[in-house]
Amino acid sequence: DRKKRSFESRTSVTNHPLARKLFEIMSSKKTNLCVAADVTTSAELISLAEKVGPHICLLKTHIDILTDFSKETVESLKELAATHNFMLFEDRKFGDIGSTVASQYSGGAYNIVDWAELVTVHGLPGDGIIKGLMSAINGRPRGCVLVSEMSSSGALTSQEYVSGCCKIAENHTYFVIGFVSQSNVSSDPRFILLTPGVQLDKSVDGLGQQYVTPRAAVLERGADIIIVGRGIREAEDPEAAAIKYKEEAFSAYLERIEA
């Protein structure tokens, strides 16, 4: 059962190199925190990555909200990821036919495949979307996380939709490493569950977002990794906040595997 196993022990059950890398980072840095770096300038993005870098396993970006994106931005991010041992995770939520997502992944202004080891993908179009993305990776180690459930109120992700996403994942384990989820969508220890909508001081944001605490995400929702944006970014001291969220989430994880 996924929830009972340590990240370290799950390293050997997956044969995806990036899932292994992520499990190793989580075990060695003792962190299952992903920061959502939703800022609008490269300077803010780099500064946030410097502050939280030592405390995270993943830095999640929405690269298209930057007003000043350039190649240098991703070069700096790649350097920071290497220095602090975290991975770059672009929350692109690809959602189109295979042929279109292939161009969106490897072309345009952002050339996401070039720098983001992991991306998010909707299961909605069916598994052609996986084949399309795979056609653009050109031998590089890359992977994706399927958005099986969303944190927002009124999300349309029914049980049937979730099980459809699980089938896609099971059939494409050489590319899919896990899920964005709000519940225990899979007990397969190969798959990594990432849960957004996590904050300590708020329960909603007024625009549909719904929050649970790090403990609830890990112990009740089955999250392996918590995704935290404003709870850290808008804190007076983002580094101190990152440490707090990291400790809460990792101790909940230890409690879960030791129970």
Q: What is the binding site for ligand 5FU (CB under 6 A)?
A: 36, 38, 62, 91, 147, 150-151, 180, 196-197, 199, 209, 227-231
Residue 151 marked ligand-binding: yes
Select 64 or 255, whichever has its Cβ closest to ligand 5FU. Answer: 64
C-beta nearest to ligand 5FU: residue: 229
Nearest distance from residue 90's CB to ligand 5FU, in Å? 11
Indicate if 244 belongs to the active site.
no
Residue 209 marked ligand-binding: yes
Nearest distance from residue 138's CB to ligand 5FU, in Å? 27
Indicate if 21 belongs to the active site.
no
Q: 47 Cβ partners below 8 Å, 6+ apart?
A: none
Select 57 or 259, whichever has its Cβ closest to ligand 5FU. Answer: 57
Indicate if 91 belongs to the active site.
yes
Select 178 or 229, whichever has its Cβ closest to ligand 5FU. Answer: 229
Rg of the chain taking only CA atoms, in angstroms: 17
Of the candidates 91, 224, 244, 246, the residue annotated as catalytic is 91
Residue 38 marked ligand-binding: yes
Select 139 or 164, whichever has its Cβ closest to ligand 5FU. Answer: 164
Residue 246 marked ligand-binding: no
Nearest distance from residue 151's CB to ligand 5FU, in Å? 4
Select 91 or 224, whichever has its Cβ closest to ligand 5FU. Answer: 91
Nearest distance from residue 17's CB to ligand 5FU, in Å? 24
Residue 208's Cβ-side half-sphere holds a number of Cα atoms within 13 Å equal to 7
HEC states along the chain? CHHHCCHHHHCCCCCCHHHHHHHHHHHHHCCCEEEECCCCCHHHHHHHHHHHHHHCCEEEECHHHCCCCCHHHHHHHHHHHHHHCCEEEEEEEECCCHHHHHHHHHCCCCCHHHHCCEEEEECCCCCHHHHHHHCCCCCCCCEEEEECCCCCCCCCCCHHHHHHHHHHHHHCCCCEEEEECCCCCCCCCCCEEEECCECCCCCECCCCCECECHHHHHHCCCCCEEEECHHHHCCCCHHHHHHHHHHHHHHHHHHHHHC
Nearest distance from residue 238's CB to ligand 5FU, in Å? 12
Of the candidates 3, 93, 131, 188, the residue annotated as catalytic is 93
Q: Which residues are annotated as a binding site?
A: 38, 60, 151, 209, 229-230
Residue numbers annotated as active site: 91, 93, 96
Binding-site residues for substrate: 38, 60, 151, 209, 229-230
